[in-house]
A and B are shown apart, each in its own frame.
Chain A
Amino acid sequence: DAKTTQPPSMDCAEGRAANLPCNHSTISGNEYVYWYRQIHSQGPQYIIHGLKNNETNEMASLIITEDRKSSTLILPHATLRDTAVYYCIVRVDPGGTSYGKLTFGQGTILTVHP
């Protein structure tokens, strides 16, 4: 699976947009970009995923560059409850023998302050 690089930490003011970058320069054509977050002492929460098109759901937007070597997760109006560790993960399209497992890196600690 391709490796991802994220900044170790970021700050954001409450009510402002939080833009979390992720570098995945070795991504392959059959690999998706997934974002999860983990609030302290809880299991990871799914946020969003995409292959090459930008995606939006009720939680966030995912912007993937045209060459697919990087992406940005956007939380449009961050709240204090969005403080968490955010993981950007490249996942092989599951099937055959791959199982599509998720390999976690160190993630980005996002702190939203008042």
Chain B
Amino acid sequence: GAVVSQHPSRVICKSGTSVKIECRSLDFQATTMFWYRQFPKQSLMLMATSNEGSKATYEQGVEKDKFLINHASLTLSTLTVTSAHPEDSSFYICSAGTVGNTIYFGEGSWLTVV
């Protein structure tokens, strides 16, 4: 299957700072990328959907000013958690796909806010 890569795989940041997570489609051009968050022992929760070159569409209850998503190219999307707090600590997962095709997931990024 297609390869989607996330970086960093683990990050620790101080409360009040911002942290950026990158998601890259390595062997295909992704017209659409999705960002999920997963808390321990829970399922994945969709945060937002982004299409290349346009603004992200956020799911209900997700703060767009806190979770900034940029999809500047067909192979790169970034999620920036601004003014992070301990309750933002979670497993963040991106996925990528093209219209009409299968969606593939990255390895996930563990964020710990201390």
Residues in chain A within 8 A of chain B (CB atoms): 34, 36, 38, 41-46, 49, 87, 93-95, 99-107
Contact A44 B107 (CB under 8 A): no
Stretch at the interface among B12-20, B70-78, B82-90, B95-103: B95-103
Residues in chain B within 8 A of chain A (CB atoms): 1, 4, 6, 32, 34, 36, 43-46, 49, 51, 57, 91, 93, 95, 97, 99-100, 102-108, 110
Q: Could you tell me the dominant secondary structure of chain A's interface residues?
A: loop
Q: What 16 new A-B contacts, CB under 8 Å, besides A99-B51, A100-B97, A100-B100?
A: A41-B91, A43-B6, A43-B95, A44-B44, A44-B93, A44-B95, A46-B104, A87-B43, A94-B97, A95-B99, A99-B32, A101-B49, A102-B95, A104-B43, A104-B46, A105-B43
B residues near A38, Cβ cutoff 8 Å: 44
CB within 8 Å for A102 and B107 given contacts A46-B1, A94-B97, A95-B99: no
CB within 8 Å for A43 and B93 given contacts A94-B100, A101-B46, A101-B49: yes
